[in-house]
Every structure is written in structure tokens, then in C-alpha cells.
A and B are shown apart, each in its own frame.
Chain A
Amino acid sequence: MIEMWQYDFIRHAMLAGSALAIVAGLIGYFVVARRLIFTSDVLSHVAFPGALIAIILGVNPLLGVFGFALLTALGMGTLAGKTRANDVTTGTLLAWVLGIGVLFLSIYASGSSGANSSAGINVLFGSLFGIHAREAWVVAIVGLLTTIVLLSIARPLLFASLDPAVAASRGVPVRLLNIVFLILLAITIAEAVQAVGALLLFALLITPAAIARRLVARPFTGMFLSALLSLLFTWAGITLAYYFPYPVSFCLTALVFVAYVSVVVVQRVLRQRIYQRRARPAHAPA
């Protein structure tokens, strides 16, 4: 266990991974509570054309990813109108955004002669082990700032997420909070996708929060449990990937997947038992 810490790439992966895990775990709790799972999936796909257009234009990919994520978030807001962004609108927009990605990919591939197509693959799958010291620190600092902002608006945001109508009537600026939340989500996705890929981010965003919500009903406890779980998954994933010849994102997502399935199954079995115990006296002959 100790000898893996002597490698720089492990230390950088741990730094960036931990920062990301905390942010993703916290923000993921709201994503699940607000049912924005499909939306956040779309935002992480948007990173693909965003990064490509930035590479084509020769600017920082982070800028492209962030810009595109914000534009899409706004687009979804506009198309959905006054109602909540629905499934169909989100899907339709996603299809088109991916189409734009193909266009940029073809420009990118034909523009740079003999270009290796690994840049795009990196955006999709990333590699926590390939992260540089500077990137790792950027991820850590952005993660810290996002966490601070999120925690400072956590209370009203939670209120607005769980019951928007009552929150609005109590004077909570629901609209403003929605926008701030989407911006925070876009920032998190943009920096994470850039550093570790859309896949890893999505694994840490949704499932730890879902597990936490299944385990505890109290929102703040749930939020911190979600962050803690996602931190533990990240550490375990990195350690596993160090000892086994599998990609780190595979180790991490496999752990997350197994944990989620076990929680669901165990809860179902327990619930069934409780029903049976309750049902028995009723069916028992008098």
C-alpha cells in the first residue's frame, strides 16, 4: 500500500481524484434530487464537441468545453419553456449536439494531417493516471472553490430542489439558484471531463448520491455520505488499478456498479421480509 505513494502519477491521481470525488458527490446529490440525471449526461457529452472546437480554433479546451456546456444548458432551458426540461427535449438536443461533434471531428481529422484521434477518446474516457501535476492542482483548486460555493448555497438550494413552489413562496430566489446550480454543474463537468473524462465523472456524480439517498433520509447527512462514498470509491478504484492491469475508470465504475446493485438487492430482500412478517398475522387462521 505504501509503495504506490512513491509514484508521482499515483499522487496526482489521488489529488485530482479526491477533489473531484468530493465535488461530484456533493453536486450529485442535488442532481439526483432534481432529477437532472439525463441533463448531466448530456452536459458531459457536450464536452466532446466543445473540446474539439477549441482544439480546432487553437484555444484552451477547457474554454470550449465550458462554453458549450453553458450554451447547452441554456438551450435546454429555452426549449423546455416554463415546464421542467423534459426527457424528449433533452434527447433531441443531445442527438444534435453529438451530430455537431461529428462535424468537428471530421474537420479536426482532415485539418491536421496524420492527427492521432486519441484527443477525442481522451475526452470520452480520459485517464486519471495520465494527469499532470499542474492539471491535478487545477482540478483540486477548482474543486475546492466549487465545493465552497455549493456549501454556501446548500440550504436554500436544497429547499428549492425538494419543493420549488413552497420555496418560491417563502422568498427563496428559485430561478437564480437554478442558474447558479447549472453553472456549478457545468464548471464541474468541464474541468472533470478535461482531466479524467466524461465516464469517470458520470460514475461519481450519479451513483454514490443514489446510494446515499437510499441509505439515509436526512438531506445533509445524505449529502456528506454521498461525498464520502464517492471519495472511498475513488481511493479504492485507484488502488485496485495500481495492482491490476485494468484501466482505472473500469475499476472505479465496476466498484460503484457492484455497490449500487448490492444496496438495491439487500434493500429489496429486507423490505420483502418486513412485508412478510407484517402479513403473517393477517393470514394466520383465527
Chain B
Amino acid sequence: MTMPTSALTLLLQPSWNPVETLRMLLSYHFMQNAFLAGTFIALLAGPVGYFMVLRGQSFLGHALAHVGFAGAAGAVWLGISPVVGLLVFGALAALGIGALGERGGRLSVESDIAIGTVLVFSLSLGLLFIRLASSYAANIYAFLFGTVLGIRDRDVVVIAVMAALGLLVLAVIARPLLFVSVDPEVAAARGVPVRLLAYAFLLLLALSVAVAVQVIGVLLIFALLVTPAATAQQLTTRPALGIVLSTSLALIVIWLGLSVAYFTDYPVGFVVTTIAFVFFLLARARRGWRANAWRPARIARAGGVR
């Protein structure tokens, strides 16, 4: 996965002229595809990730990304399209976790256990499928860490369609979902279908992961789901702004990551997760500093409240 970049670094140096740099970045077809696919995935992962973080379901997102591993491996074994395996397995796992861990429309304390158990079982299923299909270890790596630089035209189309579908569904359920996520009791009392929404979101999360995981891998999809959303939550408490911020951050992170990985020797997964993590730390530090500014001791030192 690093081979294309390391071969190219000898020939390519980023230019100070941004237009020139952009032209260089997009001069290869695989980079165009990577940017297109990355953009669509970030557009979906930003808003979905915001809700995931808001609902405290990061572990679920992480698990679903791993479940995809079993789905893809099973599809390889059966000789069907990986997308089908990913979607079927993702949906089954999401519903299974919901059924095992849900209590009255909310994922309860029990849910972490359900998630962990399903996660482990599907990983071992994936391992079994790989043994049965006698695939190489390299294939596992490709799946776990993605092959961002080997995306085909057909993949880009599939991702674009699925992302559009996911965003459409999210747009329809966004308002009640927000209500349910922030205050489930009041929402239930007001007649919002809490359970239905919980399951709808589970399926949506599974879909987002399934779409993305086959091209960018278990690692990157999780990073795009959780970190920009977590950063956005540090910066604002307003939901609409938070969703916009989370999506923009996801876009910036994936674009920057692809560009840096293109001009250097570092793997895309590492660059993207590191940039995202740095943003998160900065947002945290800003929040911590602002919170500090209002501490009594500080106000007193500054001469007290006048």
C-alpha cells in the first residue's frame, strides 16, 4: 500500500504554488479516484459520526467496522461481491447488537457487552472464512488498512450512490433522531418512535461503514467517523453547527491526509489519523484554556470582577 507513494516521491516534490501542487496531486487517475471516494465518504461520515458520538456509540462504530471484516471475508469465500457481504453482515450485526443490548429503545449498559461479544464472534468468523478461502495474509492487511490508492472507477460510483442514499435517509430522520439522542425520555413521552429511530440509526451506521470499509479500510473509516465528530463536539454545542464542523473537518482531514501521503513516504492511514488527532487535541486545549479563563483564581489574579 505504500509502494506507489514511495516510488513517486523520488519524482515529486510539492511546489509552493498551490495550483501547481494541486495539478501534481490530481495528475494521476488513482489520485483522482482517491480524492473523489474520500470526499464522498467524508461527506457521509461527518454527519453520521456526529450522531454516533452524540449517542455515545463509538464502540459500536468500531465494532461494526470490524464486523465488515467478516462480511468481506465471507463474500470472498462464497465468491460473491464484497459489497453484498459487507452490507448483509453489517446489517445483521447491527440488528443483533440492538436486540441483545437494547432496553426500551436505548442501548443500555448491557450493550457494551453485546457489542464486545458480537465483535469477537464476527472477527473469528472472518478468520474462519479466510482459512476456508485460503487467502493470503496480505489480503487481510489490505482490508484492515484499506487500499486508498487502488480505488477503481466502479468503486467511486458505488460509494457516491451509497453516500447519497445514506445522507438522504439521515436528512429524513435527522430532527427526531437529534431529539431522541439528546433527551430520550422526553422524546418518548412526546410520541417520537424511539426504538424505530434507534434501529434506523444502527442500520445507517452499518451502511456507512460497509460503504467505506472496502476502500479505505477498518482503520480509516473509524477515524473519519469518530475523531472529526469528537473535535466538533469540543468546539460547539449547537447541533447544526456541529454537523457542519464535523463534516468539514472530515473533508479537510482526508484531503490533507491524501496530499501529505502522496508527497511523503508515510502511509495514508497514519497521516489521516494523526492529523485528525492533532485537531482533536487542539480543540481540547482551546476548550480547556477557555474553561480556565473563567476560574475564580484567574479572575481574582486579574483584579477581580469589576
Contacts and interface: CB of A to CB of B under 8 A. Distances in A.
B113 interface: yes
A37 B120 contact: no
Given A92-B226, A92-B277, A202 B120 contact: yes
Contacts of A116: 137
A7 interface: no
B215 to A, nearest CB: 15
Interface in A228-278: 246-247, 249-250, 252-254, 256-257, 260-261, 264
Given A32-B113, A106-B1, A125-B127, A87 B57 contact: yes
Interface in A195-214: 199, 202-203, 206-207, 210
Contacts of B125: 250
Contact of A257 (B112, B117, B127, B266): B117
A206 B113 contact: yes
Interface in B177-227: 219, 222-223, 226-227
A91 B226 CA distance: 7
A100 interface: yes
Interface string A100-114: 111101100110000
B141 A105 contact: yes
Contacts of B6: 110
B58 A98 contact: no
B116 A102 contact: no
A103 B117 CA distance: 29
Given A41-B116, A246-B128, A99 B141 contact: no
Contact of A261 (B100, B123, B222, B226): B100
Nearest to B115: A37
A38 B100 contact: no
Nearest to A201: B120
A206 B120 contact: yes
Contact of B2 (A89, A93, A110, A256): A110
B280 interface: yes
B124 A249 contact: yes
Contacts of A110: 2, 6
B255 interface: no
Given A87-B56, A87-B59, A256 B117 contact: yes
A257 B116 CA distance: 10
B120 A94 contact: no
A162 interface: no
Contact of B274 (A90, A96, A207, A252): A96
Contacts of A95: 219, 222-223, 226-227, 273, 276-277
B124 A92 contact: no
A60 B226 CA distance: 33
Contact of A35 (B62, B109, B140, B227): B109
A206 B115 CA distance: 10
B116 A207 contact: yes
Contacts of A254: 121, 124
Contacts of A125: 123, 127
Given A90-B58, A260-B117, A247 B124 contact: yes
A215 interface: no
A199 B120 contact: yes
Nearest to A79: B284
Contacts of A91: 53, 58-59, 61-62, 222, 226-227, 230
Given A250-B125, A254-B121, A92 B280 contact: yes
A259 to B, nearest CB: 10
Contacts of A96: 223, 227, 273-274, 276-277
A203 B118 CA distance: 10
A38 B2 contact: no
A118 interface: yes
B147 interface: no
Interface of A: 32, 35, 37-38, 41, 79, 86-96, 98-103, 105-106, 109-110, 116-118, 120-121, 125, 199, 202-203, 206-207, 210, 246-247, 249-250, 252-254, 256-257, 260-261, 264
Given A99-B272, A100-B274, A106-B2, 6 more contacts: A88-B233, A92-B280, A95-B219, A98-B219, A106-B270, A247-B131
The 5 closest A-B pairs by CB, nearest first: A99-B273, A91-B58, A102-B269, A95-B223, A103-B270
7 contacts: A91-B230, A92-B277, A96-B274, A106-B1, A121-B140, A199-B123, A210-B110
